[in-house]
Copies of this chain bind each other. A is one copy, B any other.
């Protein structure tokens, strides 16, 4: 075995260290084996053109970690080897097991050319790159930059906290008894509130269908989930949440109720005012904490959409907001507005979770909001969304006559229920081949199968893509339904 290390005096790593690492790799790869003798230091020094003490230092390093052994008068021998070093821990036993179904990774999951209805995220075509860049530049050029680069407070960047809380108080959403915590988007808000409110084995009531990131979070924490039917399964039925199921969940001892009253994910449904008041009344009387996920309400296209937040109806409500849906999800900033006691505990947990939310992103988004650019961006997004909703409405009427659906008044998602007997999981493979993709209802189930449901996330698509996509879906559904009818009309003879 020839020893020919590639030593780089410019690398900053001391030469003896580079040599030691090189020899260690030879041992680990099995090129040097247990029992092999290393060249004497003098010999190797001459061969490599190095000082003899450098070679000795490298050998000492290997000896210290038990890879070689020096014997007086006999030189150094390899005593470790790959056989003992590749031994791995039994990770499948060491790691906690995943209790949740695999989560779909939305980012770039669809093949190119496919009309992708799978991701509840804004369209990057509408991102106001130049305006946002300008806000970032202003922050970077401010004298404040040094402070932003330094460690901050767990509660968040103070000017952003003040801005968001003042605005919420002025619009009647928050009260003086409330406080705020800045989080890494609303997903972290849920994670912190889960730790603040839910002990292992306790019951949590969630709307069903529900966003899997929410369900899995509570499942991982060992909570027992109760699904509350929500959404709109047809023109004739009230949108919103099933009040009787809420009552039942509270009687069964649910400790927390999580709701998305406006443009719920995945159904797109909005709770009417009557349900909002009633849910608050029931929770108050049962002593149940409500978490109100309010990340979509500012994406209302309908000018009529001025329903009160639950937080306005009851000060106990814990309200979650985020810039992810109204601005840019890659920049992770959300918040919790809640009574002081809740924020105090959540802030303590935030410090344990990651000290505090990234400073620059908080400052960038604050500038974007304060400068009025966020409001202008929102107006553009909403105008575009109106076109998308119109395309959805027209196409669903035209192509999905045998499905049931309700086009929402805003948000990013809508729910389709296929004709009886069709399965959205089975249909998905055909859909992908035909050039569209969606998420089957089963991803969103808490306890019911929801096999005939599917979610269409439309915010990232153009009206033309939406029309084309629904047309493709409509044809698939038509074919599948006809095939099924044909099968039903000519049943196979029973084997007797």
- A353 at the B interface (CB under 8 A): yes
- A137 at the B interface (CB under 8 A): yes
Q: State the copy count for this chain.
A: 2
- Is A17 a contact of B124 with CB atoms below 8 Å? no
- Is A359 a contact of B345 with CB atoms below 8 Å? no
Question: In the assembled complex, which residues on chain B have CB atoms less than 8 Å from the CB atom of A149?
Answer: 124, 127, 129, 132, 328-331
Count residues of A near B (Cβ-Cβ below 8 Å).
113
- Is A352 a contact of B129 with CB atoms below 8 Å? no
- A112 at the B interface (CB under 8 A): no
* Assembly CA distance A314 to B86 (angstroms): 8
- A356 at the B interface (CB under 8 A): yes
- A213 at the B interface (CB under 8 A): yes
Chain B residue at smallest Cβ distance from A188: B354
Smallest Cβ distance from A145 to chain B, in angstroms? 6
| Binary per-residue interface labels of chain A (340-351) against chain B in the complex, 1 for a CB within 8 Å, 0 otherwise | 011001001101
- Of residues 454 through 491 on chain A, the ones whose CB sits less than 8 Å from some CB of chain B are none
Smallest Cβ distance from A199 to chain B, in angstroms? 6
- Is B119 a contact of A151 with CB atoms below 8 Å? yes
A312/B89 contact (C-beta < 8 A), A64-B274, A345-B98 known: no
Question: In the assembled complex, which residues on chain B have CB atoms less than 8 Å from the CB atom of A280?
Answer: 65
| Binary per-residue interface labels of chain A (346-375) against chain B in the complex, 1 for a CB within 8 Å, 0 otherwise | 001101111111111100100000000001
- Is B359 a contact of A289 with CB atoms below 8 Å? no
- A141 at the B interface (CB under 8 A): yes
Smallest Cβ distance from A256 to chain B, in angstroms? 8
A303/B14 contact (C-beta < 8 A), A200-B200, A287-B90 known: yes
- A106 at the B interface (CB under 8 A): yes
Question: In the assembled complex, which residues on chain B have CB atoms less than 8 Å from the CB atom of A136?
Answer: 136, 140, 360
Smallest Cβ distance from A327 to chain B, in angstroms? 8
* Assembly CA distance A45 to B14 (angstroms): 84
- Is A96 a contact of B145 with CB atoms below 8 Å? no
Chain B residue at smallest Cβ distance from A141: B133
Partner of A197 from the list B96, B220, B255 (CB cut-off 8 Å) is B96
- Is B217 a contact of A355 with CB atoms below 8 Å? no
| Binary per-residue interface labels of chain A (274-306) against chain B in the complex, 1 for a CB within 8 Å, 0 otherwise | 101100110010010100000000000001001
- Is B316 a contact of A13 with CB atoms below 8 Å? no
Chain B residue at smallest Cβ distance from A356: B332
* Assembly CA distance A359 to B329 (angstroms): 9
- A4 at the B interface (CB under 8 A): no
- Is A353 a contact of B187 with CB atoms below 8 Å? yes
- Is A314 a contact of B85 with CB atoms below 8 Å? yes
20 contacts between A and B (CB under 8 A): A12-B375, A16-B306, A21-B312, A85-B315, A91-B339, A94-B197, A94-B289, A105-B153, A105-B351, A106-B151, A107-B152, A107-B153, A119-B151, A136-B360, A185-B354, A188-B353, A213-B352, A331-B358, A331-B359, A332-B358
With A136-B136, A187-B355 known, 19 other A-B pairs at CB within 8 A are A16-B306, A17-B306, A20-B308, A61-B273, A61-B308, A64-B273, A64-B276, A64-B277, A65-B308, A66-B281, A88-B315, A94-B255, A95-B342, A103-B352, A119-B151, A149-B331, A213-B351, A216-B352, A332-B355
